[in-house]
Amino acid sequence: MLTRGDITRFPADAIVNAANEHLGGGGGVDGAIHRAGGAAIMAELESRYGPDRHCPTGRAVVTGAGHLPARWVIHAVGPRWRGGGSGEAELLRSAYRAALDLAERLGAHSIAFPAISCGIYGYPVTEAAGIAVGTVAEHLRIARALTRATFVLFSAETFDAFAAALERAAQAD
C-alpha cells in the first residue's frame, strides 16, 4: 500500500523511523518522529541502548511510540549514498528486513515505512523505491503476523517513484 502524507500521523502498529547510527534524532523523518512522539522515545532509547546509543547501518532497534498513533517505533538505519559501489543496496535491503523482522517479533499486524535513506542520506529515490518495494513484498509473502505494510511518503516525487516501483513489481508477478 502507498499513501502520501505525514508518517507521524499515520496509524499503524509499528512506524519505521529513518534513523541515524547514533539514534540521536536529527532532521527529516527522524526529527519529525522525535518531535511528534515526544521525549519518551529518546528516554527509552537511552534506557535500552545506553548513553552511547548505537545501531549499525542495515540494522534496527525498537522503542515505544510516545504520542504517535502507533504502538512501536522501529528505528532502522539505512546507508548514506556513496555512488552505489559501497554495498549501499544490500545495506538498504538489510535495514528494511531488520525492521520487518522486528515487527514480526513484536507481533505487529501493520507497519508504516518512510523512504529510508532518500532524504539527507542522498540515496537515489528510484533505486531505493525498487529495493524497498521488493524487500517488503518478499517479506509479506512469508509473514506470520504482518498483514499490511504501507509506504507513507511525504513528497510527490518520492510518491511517484514508489508508485512506479509498485507497478513494476505487480507486472513482474
Place of cell 531505493: 128
Catalytic residue among 30, 52, 160, 173: 30
Residue 45 identity: L
**Radius of gyration of the chain, Cα coordinates, nearest whole angstrom:** 15
Q: Give the helix/strand (H/E) hosting 96.
A: helix 88-106
Place of cell 532502522: 76
Cα gap 104→83, rounded to integer Å: 32
Does 6 participate in catalysis according to the annotation?
Answer: no
Place of cell 509473514: 143
Q: 106, 79, 103, 112: which is closest to 3 by C-alpha? A: 112
Catalytic residues: 30
